[in-house]
Amino acid sequence: QDKIKVGLILTLSGPAAALGQQARAAFEMALKDLGGKLGGREVELVVADDELKPDVAVTKVKGLIDRDKVDVVVGPTFSNILGAIAKPVTDAKVFLISPNAGPSPLAGKGCSPFFFATSYQNDQVHQVSGKVAQSRGYKTLYLLAPNYQAGKDAIAGVKRDYKGQIVEESYVPLNTLDFQSELAKIAAAKPDAVFTFMPGGMGVNLIKQYKQAGLADRIPLLSSFTVDESTLPAQGDAALGMFAGSNWAPDLDNPQNKAFVAAYVAQQKAVPATYAFQAYDAALLLDGALKATGGKTDDKEALRAAFLKADFTSLRGAFKFSRNGFPVQDFYLTKVGKRPDGKLETQIVEKVFSDYVDSYLPECSIK
């Protein structure tokens, strides 16, 4: 048998490259741990950088499919890129495995038999915070997100399970540097808790300034994609004690995960975030499915069935796929803490949802 070709398309350059870098490192680690083979076949990995530009991404995946003749595409990092490449890839009847982005259209009306996500449906992560705010009995909640689609989705996600009073729904421009005025509003509103979704550098700025303004000790901060292992090194101790929703954390207690985190830290000199773990799982998923088909990729039906079975040991423990290709899994509340080696990481506080199914599944027409 000749090699199986895997196309990996991620945002690897430009300002937002950190997440893609983690994913690639982890995916490559997984291949190594699997002995350079998936389902018993040698692997040839073709990596492409989507530059976070939709039209570039489309050309790149066409290159992967057409020029490099990859058997499966893994990627991308961001939802808007996924929106652009999902159709060309699945139209070409190539399987697309998303190691991070999980936008609602692909879970619902736009679901495809050729699509699987090893991550989650985006809303689910935000729902964790809403559920926690509700169950902890916070009477008032202050919501803060950047003014773009993902920010709006985040706030919608939180509101789904939270029934208390929302004192403010504040949207800041994308790439806001200075949160001073938001912090002043929060201090004036005195909510029981704040929820925020502030990915990347914005999260770093917010957390540092939140701490500097003296709010960290007074008002608990719930979040998604704001404090994770990709931003913690920059946030430093200012992030200690902040909460986040997640489907995984580095300290999740199972042997595979412990080994993975230790190996990753040793190799990358940094603690892995979900982007890394999900990419690692993507490789495991491929391996499991290909084992089931005996390494064959021609029979798409069989391959899909093999994927759906999710017959591998995920770093997050057991999980299944819904028919829309999204996982049914547990979600946790995490909190930033210190590892024995002094590095920061998110640590599991409690399980918030068990075997949680995303809410768009009913809209998906696939049987």
Partner 1 sequence: MSSTLLLIQILNGLQFGVILFLIAAGLTLVFGVMDFINLAHGVQYMVGAYLTAAFAAATGSFWLGLALALPAALLIGLALELLVFRHLYERSHLDQVLATFGVIIFLGEAVRMVWGSAPIGVEMPEALSGSIEIAPGLLYPVWRLVIIAAGLGVGIGLYLTVHHTRIGMLMRAGASNAPMVSALGVDIRLLFTLVFGFGAMLAGFAGAMVAPILSVEPGMGDGILILAFVVIVIGGIGSIRGAFVAALLIGLVDTLGRFLAPMLLRLLLDPAAASQTGRALAPMLVYILMAVTLFVRPAGLFPARR
Partner 2 sequence: MARRLRREWLPLGLFLALALVPVLAPLGPQSFILSLMTRIVVVALAALSLDLLIGKGGLVSFGHAACLGIGAYAVGILSAEGVTDGGAHLAVAIAAAAFFALATGAVAMRTDGVHFIMITLAFGQMLYFLATALSAYGGDDGITLPGRSTVLGRDVLASDTVLYLAALGALLAAYLLLRRIAASRFGRVLEGARDNPVRMEAIGFRPFRFRLAAYLISAMIAAVAGVLLANQTGFVSPATMAWQRSGELIFIVVLGGLGSLHGAILGAIAFILAEELLSHWSEHWRIVFGPLLILAVLFARGGLAGLLTKGARP
Peptide bond into 76 cis (omega under 30): yes
Exactly one of 30, 39, 45, 49 binds partner 2 (CB under 8 A); which one?
49
Site size for partner 2, by CB under 8 A? 35
**Residue 83 contacts partner 2 per CB under 8 A:** yes
**Residue 39 contacts partner 2 per CB under 8 A:** no
Across 139-265, where does the E strand assignment appear?
140-146, 165-172, 193-197, 221-224, 243-246
Look at residues 251, 246, 186, 172 and name the one whose alpha carbon lies nearest to residue 216: 186
Site map (CB under 8 A) of partner 1, residues 263-292, x = contact = -------x----------------------
Minimum distance, C-beta of residue 60 to partner 2, in the bound complex (Å)? 8
CA separation for the pair 362, 367 (Å, rounded): 11
Choose among partner 1, partner 2, none what residue 352 binds, the Cβ cut-off being 5 to 8 Å by kind.
none
**Residue 305 contacts partner 1 per CB under 8 A:** no
Burial class (CB in 10 A: 0-12, 13-18, 19+), 93: exposed
Site size for partner 1, by CB under 8 A? 40
Distance set, CA 74 to CA 83, 284, 363 (Å): 14, 12, 25
Binders of partner 1 among 187-216, rule CB under 8 A? 188, 200-205, 208-209, 212-214
Exactly one of 40, 54, 63, 233 binds partner 1 (CB under 8 A); which one?
233
| β-sheet bridge partners, residue 223 | 196
3-state SS class at 352 = strand
Q: DSSP for 106-142?
A: HHTTT--TTEEESS--HHHHHHHHHHHHHHTT-SEEE
**Residue 150 contacts partner 2 per CB under 8 A:** yes
**Residue 87 contacts partner 2 per CB under 8 A:** yes
Report the interface residues with partner 2, using CB under 8 A. Answer: 12-13, 47-49, 51-55, 58-59, 62-63, 65-69, 79-80, 83-84, 86-88, 103, 105, 110, 147-150, 152, 174
Report the interface residues with partner 1, using CB under 8 A. Answer: 13-18, 20-21, 147, 169, 171-175, 177-178, 180-181, 184-185, 188, 200-205, 208-209, 212-214, 230-231, 233-236, 270
